[in-house]
Amino acid sequence: MQGNLTRDRLPDVIQSLGRGRENGILQLARDDVSKRIYFGRGSMVFARSTLHSDRLGEMLVRKGELSRSNLALASNKMRARRARLGATLVSLGLMSPHQLQTRLAEQVQGIIYSLFTWSDGEYRFQPESGALEPDVPLDLPTVPIILEGTRRMEHAVVRSALGDVGRVVSYTKDPRVITHYANLTPQEGFVLSRVDGASSLSDIVSISPLAEVETLRCLYGLLASGFLEIGSKSREVAPSENRRKDPIEIFHRPVATTPAKPKRVDGPSATNEDLRTQEDIEAKHRSISSGTYFDWLELRRTAETKEVKKAFAVMVMKYHPDRHRPTVVEAVGSKLETILTKVTQAHETLCDPQARRRYENSMRSEAPKGDVDAKSATPPKLAPKPPTPSEDMAERYYREAKRFFAQKDYHEVVKLMEEAVRIDPSKVRYQCLLAQSLSHNPKWRKNAEECFKTALGLDPFDTECLVGLAELYEAVGLTRRAQSLYAEAVEIDPGNAISRMKLGALES
């Protein structure tokens, strides 16, 4: 693959390499400057530049993290030992391994982002069969990089790259792209929500309250990263031809096929853990050949939208190909893709109130046929156990405490919730409200942290607790911890506006 950046835009080149899960080196040159991006299985693992200002040592000096004298000392040691600068800085005690990893990632991303400002130049991709830069364990997925890179491009280049704005766009169903929703800005998320598979680029610009420049940039970023595709498409996940035949049958009919013998990788590179992981993936793949969307996400049918989003996040973290070793992906990669497609389909439907209502109605209408018979598919539900007098009292304390919390009378809230937690410490919302109230008093912050951690121990996917603990850490200056927790909350619930805003503020 080779060409000219005047004709072929860099985001398109990177997206193509990412989708093809390519291994190799993308070489780019303009005038007397040459830069390289190293790809491993479609992700960017390293980058190099001939520019002096792009070097790691120069970046550290600019950031004030390394003096010129220490850089000269490390450079002399590096040449004498024939080692890398990063390893030399660690050996001299000038940086910790964690600091080095963080700064290397910043350096690599800086080199890559700078290429998005190039409007001309030559490129050539050189495939490689072996591992690239094995001593630099970076893993930068293409989708977030393209999104950020397009935000740095000049408007004239963006407008030219978009081409005919009369073309209809639709959004992708590729689960490998959908898993990166958390990387969208609120503006990009809004523009994406305006896409219906029938409107053109110019239609979306006309209905967007954002400025035309900003809307066009968002559209280009979404197209370049793969969130949008050119061409009309229904929002339904199942193929339109099959949907016209029999929607209910397509969604719920068990597939009566003889399962193929699973392909196994039993060579020396496969570990016992790989085989166990493979068996779990195969079992999940078999389970989604029938059942309901709730079954696919392993949820009860009364699950709320928040629970659906949590379940989807768990599935993505567990079954995304990038989270498994190459030996596992080689054996069951197609099954992982199928699982992600299925759970994405379930997630999109169950998070859309109207689509969920239609789906549940179809389940009820199909129940007599036996395809989605609630009586046979799930065990009978037991009547809820009535609360004990003490549990009832704890709930009354909680309701009263919520009233005081709204009035910002945190002292009263603490008194009430300490009693509620004593009665029933298993309630996440009790622990969370107590922690939120304690965090408003600087003297009680340690206790607040313990309560937040207790609540997250009961439910690690509770975004309210994650945000509360992040805000506590941010208040005392522990910004790295806060940023990590905000990012976790966004990953679990991409629609959480507070966590997205807070994370964006810290990252900037």
CATH hierarchy code of domain 242-377: 1.10.287.110
In 151-268, alpha helices (H): 155-162, 175-178, 186-193, 201-207, 212-225, 240-245, 247-252
**pLDDT for res 372:** 43
431 neighbors 455 (Cβ within 8 angstroms):
yes
Q: Within a 10 A sphere around the Cβ of 169, how many other Cβ atoms?
A: 24
Distance CA 252, CA 370 (A): 10
What's the residue count for the chain?
A: 508
**pLDDT for res 22:** 86
Q: For the chain, which residues make up each domain, given as ranges?
A: 2-139, 146-230, 242-377, 389-507
Q: For 89-119, what is each residue's pLDDT tens digit?
A: 888 888 888 888 888 888 899 999 999 988 8
237, HSE (Cβ side, Cα atoms, 13 Å): 22
What is the chain's mean pLDDT, rounded? 80
**pLDDT for res 219:** 92
Distance CA 375, CA 232 (A): 40
**pLDDT for res 250:** 27
* Residues with pLDDT less than 70, the chain: 130-137, 232-272, 322, 364-387, 389
The answer to whether the 242-377 and 389-507 domains have the same CATH topology is no
397, HSE (Cβ side, Cα atoms, 13 Å): 25
**pLDDT for res 441:** 87
Domain 389-507 annotated CATH 1.25.40.10: yes
Q: How is residue 276 written in tokens? A: 């166990």
Q: Within a 10 A sphere around the Cβ of 166, how many other Cβ atoms?
A: 9
Side by side, which strands form the sheet with 33-40?
Answer: 2-4, 122-127, 24-30, 33-40, 43-49
Q: Phi then psi for 231, rounded to 5 degrees? A: 120, 150
